[in-house]
Structure 1
Amino acid sequence: MSAFEYTSVMSSIIVGLALVDILISLNRLIRAGGGVRWHWAAPATALLIFLTVIQIWWSIYRPQAAPMTIGQFLPFVVELVLLFLLAAAALPDDVPPGGLDLKLYYQNNSPYLWSLFAAALGWMLFVEILGSALMGQPVLAVIEGHLVDLLVVGLFVALVFVRRLWVHAIALAFFYVGPLGWLSRSLG
């Protein structure tokens, strides 16, 4: 078995667990029926997280003949852990007997969610910039190639502190442009 096969299996397991966590939480919310007071922000953010996890898994597919060390794989594991934590926080794990208000859940949970989003994308950028620098590429050129990603990290960080839901709605609409662009990507 090649290094790619080992890493893709482990990645698929972690990604699968992340997606299952979102789906189980969604199932519990739906089954709770009237015990849940629905609000757009939590499910819209959960869908964005779901799509992001799928996109990251899709982008993992990079067969390579070169062996990979554990040291090369560990930064990737950190990314997968951050994505799992993000997915696990997307929706509440259960509905308390007194019911659940998803607007309140989102308002209380959004700083954590957007911090994880910022950490995940920030970590990915850091690893790529560091890797490029170690391979002798000019760091500023690599950073210039990721200006949109850096803007997105900035927006994630801003959402940690901004409490107005209309700002979150505009940001989510902007963030959904990414998944729409991913729809045409293919493996290989």
Structure 2
Amino acid sequence: MEQALVFASIILGVAVASELGNLHHLIRAKNVRWHWAQPLFAVLVIFFITRFWWTLAADTDRAITLGEFVPILWSLVLLTLLASVALPDKIDPEKGIDLAQYYQDNRRYQWGLILLIALPLQGAWMLGVWQESETVARFLERTMGDNIAWALMIAMMFVKRWWLVAIGMAIISLGPIAWLSRTLG
């Protein structure tokens, strides 16, 4: 697992550097119409990347097979794409950029990437829960929170009203905040 962690660290480091480079260009741009949704989404992406790396780093005691690494590689590629779109990479010097419009133009792609990142890892976990559950009701009970999160992320692909976006992001933010509070000490 140690080699996989080094590889993942390099890929995720590039992803974070890409997002921070985009942040630098955004801050330096002259004509930016700021809006809260896209910067908040970018912060969530940094939390997702950090959590993914932290989870990998916590499990370095055993070797993994290439077959076990493929879902990790899938998530690494998609996390890099997600970091690349979290903030605009191109800003027209004359027209500038409207972050509200950027969010609306990219919401399906962004939230779709998040779903695709989680799919193999969450799918494997849910399969394990299914095999351990004695009844469908027990399976649904154990996976209810995850199913609600999936439904919310799918909804975020289509939600246009800002108050609904705010509620969705607030609820989705609870996951990284809860993880961070457990991890801090």
TM-score by length of 2: 0.88
Distance 2:3 2:141 in 1: 33
Amino acid at match of 2:121: M
Which of 70, 73, 88 is residue 77 of structure 1 equivalent to? 73
Preserved contact between residue 18 and residue 83 of structure 1 (Cα < 8 Å): yes
> What amino acid does structure 2 have at the position aligned with 1:137?
E
In the aligned structure 2, how far is the partner of 1:160 from the partner of 1:180?
22
> 1:1-188, aligned counterparts within 5 Å?
4-32=1-29, 34-61=30-57, 62-65=59-62, 67-97=63-93, 98-130=95-127, 132=128, 137-138=132-133, 144-186=141-183
Tell me the TM-score normalized by structure 1.
0.86
Is the Cα contact below 8 Å between 2:38 and 2:103 reproduced in 1?
yes
Q: What's the C-alpha RMSD, in Å, of the aligned pairs? A: 2.1
Q: d(CA) in 2 for partners of 1:91 and 1:84?
A: 12
Q: Kindly provide the amino acid, as one letter, of the partner of residue 92 in structure 1.
A: P
Distance change (3 Å), C-alpha of 1:21 and 1:146: farther
Post-superposition CA distance 1:133-160 (Å, at most 9, x none): 79x6348556643321221111111111
Give the number of aligned pairs. 180
Tell me if the contact between 1:15 and 1:84 (Cα under 8 Å) persists in the aligned partners.
yes
CA contact (8 A) 1:51 1:179 kept: yes
Is the contact made by 1:129 and 1:143 (CA closer than 8 Å) also made in structure 2? no
d(CA) in 2 for partners of 1:19 and 1:47?
11
Aligned identity (percent) is 38
How has the CA–CA distance of structure 1 residues 168 and 133 changed in structure 2, closer, same or farther, with 3 Å as cutoff? closer
Query: Take 2:157 and 2:181, find their aligned partners in 1: how far apart are those partners?
Result: 31
Which consecutive residues of structure 1, in runs of 5 or more, have no partner in the other structure? none
The question of whether the paired residues in 2 share the 8 Å contact of 1:122 and 1:153 is answered with no
Aligned letter for 1:24? G
Once the two structures are superposed, what CA deviation does each residue of 1:20-56 show, in whole Å capped at 9, x if it has no partner? 1111100000011x31111111101111111111111
In structure 2, stretches of 5+ residues that fail to align are none
* Local SS of the residue matching 1:161: coil
Taking a change above 3 Å as real, the CA distance of residues 144 and 11 of structure 1, as seen in their structure-2 partners, is farther
